[in-house]
Amino acid sequence: MEKCKSSLRHLFLMLMLLAGIQCLSAQQISVTGTVTDPSGEPLIGVSVIASGGKTGTATDIDGNYTIKVDSKSKLTFSYIGYKTVEEAVNGRTAIDVRMEENSAVLDEVVVIGYGTMDKKELTSAISHVGEKDFLTVSSLDPSMMIQGKVPGVSITNTGAGDPNNQASIQIRGVSSRSAGLGPLIVIDGVPGGNLTNLNPNDIQSFDILKDGAASAIYGTRGSNGVILVTTKKGSKDGAVHTSYSAQLSWDKLKNELDMMDADDYRQVRLGWGDTGVDLGGNENWLDAVSRTGFSQQHTLSVSGGNERSNYRVSADYRYAHGIDLRSKREEYGARASVSHTTKGGLFTVNLNMAPRIIYRDNADWGVFKNAIEANPTTPVMDPENPGRYYNFQGQVVGYNPVENQKLETDHADTKLLDWDASLRLNLLPLLAKNLSNHTLNTQVSFADHQYSNNNSWFRPSTSTQAINAGREGEATRSYSKERQYIFEWLTNYNTHFGQNNIKAMAGYSYQYSQYSGFSAENKDFPNDGLGPDNLGSGELAKEEGEVLMGSYKNDAKLIAFFARVSYDWAGKYLATASLRHEGSSKFGANHKWGNFPAFSLGWRISEERFMEGTRSWLNDLKIRGDYGETGNQNFDSYLSLNTMSGFGYYFYNGKYFQVWGPSKNVNPDLRWEKGKNWNVGLDFSMFNNRFYGSLNYFNRRQQDLLGNYKVSVPPFLHDETYVNVGTMKNTGFEFDLNITAVQTRDFDYNFNVIGTWMSNKFVDFSNSQYIGQDYYNGAGTEDPYPFYDLQRIQKGESLGNFYMWRYAGITPEGDWLVYDKDGDIIRASQATDADRAIVGNGMPKFTMSTTHNFRYRNFDLSLFFRGAFGYDIFNIHDFYYANRNFTGNRLKKAYGKNFDLNPQANPVVSDYYLERGDYFKLDMVTLGYTIKLPQTRFLDRIRVYGSVKNVFTLTKFSGVDPSSYQVNGLYPGTLNGSGGRTYFPSTRQFIMGVQVDF
């Protein structure tokens, strides 16, 4: 017993000893302290995390914190907008920290093609727009969040009130005639993405590669610029963050055209004895075809992890209906991203996945045109047959716009799936130990896109349009599919020795895309209840000679080898050179592969010894210049090949044979449009980074522009060949200035001003081999007036030239007078084509925007203005509606300033209708309130905000909102590139949103 007791005592002593050792090795102490900003004010909610990430806390309302940690551990203090501070505990029990603000300007990480760089190292023109600068607009198209925010990037959305309308993006001018004009979209490094598959709340930043040196790494797709989208990734602070955000918005139509109402119609129009019929009704057709647009969006996201393994998952739902009666969009999607680095940093695995389902009902933009010009005495329903809509047969308005939306269906189901996976191997640890000044890794990645669209359209037999066409219902179905996969292999090597820093990258890329689809239509169905879902039951297909169906399939391959080397000496002298050797299956056999080189140089003058005297106020000053060659291969497949296709019929052996022959002239020289771009720029930051910005001058010359050229027959089989001829030039100057005017604890005010001067020139339509004509006309007017082109694209002139007669007054009878080519006044009816002249230009010479951000305590206010100057618009609605000749409803102006025009005379395409398009608008106001709740049990932070979009516009233009006119593309200053009058009315949007972080 005694023995047993002593052994127990020994055991107990042993345990005590062990516990003591335990205590010595990890002595837990309590550390307290205060965290303040540089002015000594306490910072609330700073996260304090002990090394290992197992314990953490946040500072309270007085900036105080208490944490129990190992006496030998390190504490990490982090707070948004401030530099992260690390303090070793070393047994101290009180650690006060003064945090310094992040001079985010210079250390901002900018995403470049196949890599990233600090902003201070950049030697080319790349614009970075982070989340804090996004507009809180409600739109399906994430690019609308940066509309007007980047100099040189023109983002226009002429149908912002249509929930299914995507914006048009054009970077540094028009660069092609018949190949695509849109930039390449790269989402998380995967080229060829679609912005519609992005939830705006998942986007962390946009980086826009504007100049040739930056975009040349994307070779044959770089000419129109590149937009790199970076999505949010898992958090690395060891905590799990949950966030919910919701946004509601309402769109109100702006009635901009002062049309006659039913009373005006009866009293004024019919009162003057002008053409018109009183149909007995009293209708405001614009009200009848529109409603208040509405949208709601909800996003839930969870992110967590640490430096080695992290994840982020988000899911969203969005519903929107437009200001017309039919358009609707309902979508839901998700995005998951997982990253993991294995033990010792050997492998890093990344996986991203983003599915999305969209159900759409499409708007018919024509309903607004019809509503505007419908006779206001037309009733909506037929008074003699109240169950049926009023039949517009015989009116200039082709159909009843209410009926069109209520009876017809135009539906689409879209499915999008983007996913990619990459595996990076860190080679250096395998090769040698302790090589801290080298990194070498190699990465393979695979990405896949699958997009599909299933469309259906149906018009029932009760529709007056079906009745007028003699049809018992009409229906169309179509399906289109796009698949794309990309395999890439990249190797990165970085090293520094002495003052030399070298970064090198080499890679291979293989991209395959395939497009296919089919469509079928039929008419005369036995029952309207079948809708578009039983095409086979229609009668039309039983008739002989009706084809009623079609299908297509094509594919394309892009293969590239590329490399880039960046070198800098002491961060002072910077140089980058890159080369992409790329081929596309679309190119002709003689030019399958092209080389796209680029180089850029930068000199950070502020780092020089002789600038030491300026260090007190000048933080950074860099001049840079670059040159890059880019390509554009955005045209159809199979254009270079010798293919056969069907033509007419020949009667032979008692049977009609469709004859077949070569479908086009073979062009084995077909190749990319080649862009030669150079850019010089200056970046600066001064007064403790409170004033920073960039200036850029660019010159882009696009050669080998594609087009159809006349050739002689023989030797050619066809009289036109699709060839690379033609040259276009864009030059411009961009500036971007950011100023932090006031920065105190309670009040901040910062603002920026950005602007772009642009000019364009179509240098030539010909080369030594092919002689094209020196001009061609475009943007023609439409019925009911004679067809005249508004614009002429001419050699040596800018795009957007309005080319028409010059107005010289009217005769006493109200007939049009114009100047002839000699300056003499003649009647418009006698004027010829030769009397037309360049009278204006629809391309804005100067576009600008300015953002003003105010913060008072927890309130923030942001004002965003933008404008375009130095251009003309042909007031298309005045041309059609403001005269007593138009048979549809007229503008009140027809009986005001244009009353004297002869009612028998068609309006004449002349500079009478040309007006200055200059405008300046308060595009967005956002007022927000943020509360941080580090002490509450369930929440971290709440932000509520309200915005108004399109608040007011200052302009002398007398027509609709000048931003309804398209300024991108080949015919700027017109409605969507044509001389038609169809447009989507502009809207004012009211937005309310909330974001809750848990």
Partner 1 sequence: MKFLRNIAFAALGVAALSGCTNLDETLYDQVGTGNYYNTKNDVIRAVFRPFEHAYWSIQSRHVLNELTADQLITPTRDG
β-pair partners for 110: 117
Site stretch for partner 1 (CB under 8 A), options 369-377, 584-592, 760-768, 886-894: 584-592
Closest approach, Cβ 326 to partner 1, in A, equals 33
- How many chain residues are in contact with partner 1, going by CB under 8 A? 46
Region binding partner 1 by CB under 8 A among candidate stretches 100-108, 621-629, 636-644, 852-860: 636-644
Span interacting with partner 1, options 237-245, 478-486, 655-663, 965-973, rule CB under 8 A: 655-663
Of the pair 557, 690, the CB lying nearest partner 1 is at 557
Site string for partner 1, 593-632 (x = CB under 8 A): x---------------------------------------
Closest CA to 867 of 799, 917, 802, 914: 917
Q: Does residue 427 touch partner 1 according to CB under 8 A? A: yes
Is position 659 an interface residue for partner 1 (rule: CB under 8 A)?
yes
Site residues for partner 1, 465-494, by CB under 8 A, read 489
Q: Which of 282, 278, 289 is nearest to 261 (CA)?
A: 282
Out of 613, 651, 714, 822, name the contact with partner 1 by CB under 8 A: 651
* Under rule CB under 8 A, residue 255 binds partner 1: no
Q: x-or-dash pattern for partner 1, window 532-551, by CB under 8 A?
A: -------------------x
* Smaller CB separation from partner 1, 342 or 904: 904
For partner 1, which residue of 362, 378, 584, 798 counts as binding (CB under 8 A)?
A: 584
* Bridge pairing between strands 226-231 and 184-187: parallel
Task: Report d(CA 979, CA 804) in Å as an integer.
Answer: 13
CB distance 974 to 357 below 8 Å? no
The residue count of the chain comes to 998
Q: How far is the CB of 488 from partner 1 (least distance, A)?
A: 11
* Residue 886 DSSP SS3: coil
* Residue 965 per-residue DSSP state: S
Cα separation, 721 vs 604, whole angstroms? 50
> Contact, 424 vs 445, CB < 8 A?
no
Three-state DSSP at 243 gives: strand
Q: Binding of partner 1 at residue 645 (CB under 8 A)?
A: yes
Among 17, 21, 23, 430, binds partner 1 (CB under 8 A): 430
Nearer to partner 1, 640 or 974 (CB): 640
Phi, psi torsion values for 618, nearest 5 degrees: -105, 115
* Subset of residues 771 to 800 that bind partner 1, contact rule: CB under 8 A: 786
Nearer to partner 1, 273 or 648 (CB): 648
Rounded-to-integer distance, Cα 631 and Cα 236, Å: 39
Which CB sits closer to partner 1, 268 or 427? 427
Residues near 228 by Cβ (< 8 Å), separated by ≥ 6?
111, 112, 113, 186, 189, 206, 207, 208, 209
Among 194, 637, 766, 958, binds partner 1 (CB under 8 A): 637
Task: Pick between residue 610 and residue 652 the one whose CB is nearest to partner 1.
Answer: 652
Contact 564, 505 (CB under 8 A): yes
Residue 858 touches partner 1, criterion: CB under 8 A: no
Q: What is the rounded distance in angstroms from the CA atom of residue 856 to the CA atom of residue 839?
A: 50
Binding segment for partner 1 among 299-307, 343-351, 456-464, 638-646 (CB under 8 A)? 638-646
Task: Considering the complex, state which of residue 510 and residue 716 has its C-beta at the smaller distance from partner 1.
Answer: 510
| Minimum distance of partner 1 from residue 452's CB (angstroms) | 17
Q: How many CA atoms lie within 13 A of 652 on its CB side?
A: 6
**What is the x/- site pattern for partner 1, positions 929-968, by CB under 8 A?**
----------------------------------------
At closest approach, how far in Å is the CB of 659 from partner 1?
A: 4
832 binding partner 1? (CB under 8 A): no
749 sits near partner 1 (criterion: CB under 8 A): no
Question: CA 403: distance to chain centroid?
Answer: 34
**Contact between 435 and partner 1 (CB under 8 A)?**
no
**Pairing status of strand 74-78 against strand 85-88:** antiparallel
Q: In this chain, which of 196, 516, 537, 766 binds partner 1, going by CB under 8 A?
A: 516
DSSP 183-218: PEEEETTEES--GGG--GGGEEEEEEE-SHHHHGGG
Per CB under 8 A, does 40 bind partner 1? no
Are the C-beta atoms of residues 137 and 163 closer than 8 Å to each other?
no
Q: Where are the beta strands (DSSP E) in 899-986?
A: 914-916, 919-932, 941-955
What's the CA gap between 483 and 857, in Å, rounded? 50
What does the binding site for partner 1 look like in residue numbers (CB under 8 A)? 427, 430-431, 489, 508, 510, 516, 551-557, 559, 583-587, 592-593, 637-638, 641-652, 657-663, 786, 829, 906
